[in-house]
Amino acid sequence: MCPEIEAVAQPFERRRHPRYHPPHNLELAIPVISPGDVIDLSESGALVSAVLPLAIGDRARLSLLVGREPFVAWAAVVRAEEGTRMGRTVRHHLGLTFTSIEDQSRLVLQRFVRPPRTS
């Protein structure tokens, strides 16, 4: 065999580190931003309407303004059903339970769901 052809037939290894096979239960998360509407909100979760269909068990990051203050939480989908249909667009009603909320967002949420009492 000609040496030039042999060099092309055997590719040069460019990797600097060895590769290993990952465990089979590895999941790949690809962030997707999808607009939605909050139908209702409580201290433990929310019901949202979104075009993006999610399945029970999926995780999502919820980001919104509550009374002009930013609120961010990680949530798990505990309910997923088809909601409203407008032409070809289907909105999905997703019941979310909060799994992680930073302290500042928790305060924002508590001020919203527990308004001050008036005498």
What local confidence, expressed as pLDDT, does residue 19 receive?
80
CATH code of 36-113, in short, is: 2.40.10.220
pLDDT digits (tens, 9 = 90+) for 68-118: 999 999 999 999 998 888 787 888 999 999 999 999 999 999 999 887 777
Q: What pLDDT, on a 0 to 100 scale, did the predictor assign at position 118?
A: 73
0.85 cut: is pTM over it?
Answer: no
Task: Look at residue 6 and tell me whether its pLDDT is greater than 90.
Answer: no
Identify which of 74, 82, 78 has the alpha carbon closest to the alpha carbon of residue 95.
Answer: 78
Residue ranges covered by each domain of the chain = 36-113
pLDDT single digits (tens) 49-73: 999 889 999 999 999 999 899 999 9
